[in-house]
Amino acid sequence: MIAACIDDFRVLAKTRLPRFLFDYIDGGSYSEATMRSNVADLQALRLRQQVMRDVSAIDLSTMMMGRKVALPIALGPVGLAGLNARRGEVQAARAAEAKGVPFILSAVSCCSLEEVTGAVSGPVMLQLYMIRDRDFMRDLLGRAAALGVDTLVLTVDLAVQSARYRDVRSGLAGVQGIDTQLRRFSQIAARPGWAWDVGVRGGPHTLGNFAPVMKEGAGLSQFLAWVGRNFDASITWKDLDWIRQHWSGRLVIKGVLDPDDALAACDAGADSIIVSNHGGRQLDGAPSTIAALPAVAKAVGGRAEILMDSGVRSGVDVLRALALGAKGVLLGRPWAFALAARGEAGVAAMLDLLRHEMAVAMALTGQTSIADLSPDILLPLNT
């Protein structure tokens, strides 16, 4: 099958991954209403087609999170992405570097920070949650700085984890016993290609960044249990003072939907703010990110860079987000699907596809530069 769009990569991923891994990527919390609205609200925005303008030279490059990028796109943090392909985070980081876009490594990646930074020539960004074990957190920040990481993406919308029904049904979450183990095993057996390439040849199957705090021989379930116990539900904006004591690089706050929270992030010293509802995986019933974006951008008023994730499924969607105040977007599911479908080559092809879609949308709206995009390229919703 030829992947002509992001949805095609999703179809390919579904045929390759065991169900519990596909549903982990594809699903959201509770009824998944917010997850659906992320996509639908973006696609409801209509573009203003303008013709007879010189669009022979279109520039898609911009500044994003302190660096020049070829596209206003970053590969956002995706947990367990290393299970989507053999040593998956390494493959994705290589594709991102080749295409000139940032790669943000999830704290709960399978490949360690050392492995990923060793596979590319430029800096990798690190996503992290506030961890109760502050000694471990301080050590991880020190490891990151020593490896050349210059940007920390602190995710603040996961103080508690929401229920994800698909993960319970597939056996990834919920009460763990022999029946859930057998359920996952049967799903793996149904995907022999994945079982050989990733299950057998793709080890170790751990959370590489947390290996120093685990006993030798611990499996993925023990790692996930440790992470769950150590998410800190007591954090407030004052805890960013602790982060700043131990981190001198760029600080990005991910998981903001409310303008007051955005202002608090600015006051706490955030360099960038990511308008995000965790891809619809946390508070079901929260607004879509594209609905929340304009008010956040207006409130911040240039005090911090505004980025957005959740729901982007095309280059046209990227344009829509930029028109409403984002300086760039983060991708999650699209690159995870592309990685599962075709590995590093799939991620590279997905980025090429988005580049082409963006260039076409720019030309047909009469635009030539990312810097010039504004709400003027959108039509009122009632027209």
Q: Give the pair of three-digit tokens for residue 30.
A: 């509770």
Q: Give the pair of three-digit tokens for residue 77.
A: 């943090």
Phi, psi of 163 (to 5 degrees): -75, 135
| Cα 351 to chain centroid, rounded | 14
239: buried, middle or exposed (CB in 10 Å: 19+, 13-18, 0-12)?
middle
Any idea which residue has 């065991």 for tokens? 18
CB atoms inside a 10 Å sphere around CB 154? 24
| Rounded Cα–Cα distance for residues 69 and 62 (Å) | 6
Active-site residue, selected from the candidate residues 205, 246, 278, 356: 278
| Strand ranges for the chain from DSSP E | 62-64, 67-69, 73-75, 104-105, 125-128, 151-155, 250-256, 272-275, 305-309, 328-331
278 is catalytic: yes
Pair 26, 10: CB distance under 8 Å: yes
Phi, psi of 309 (to 5 degrees): -135, 180
By three-state DSSP, how is residue 30 classified? coil
Residues with catalytic function: 278
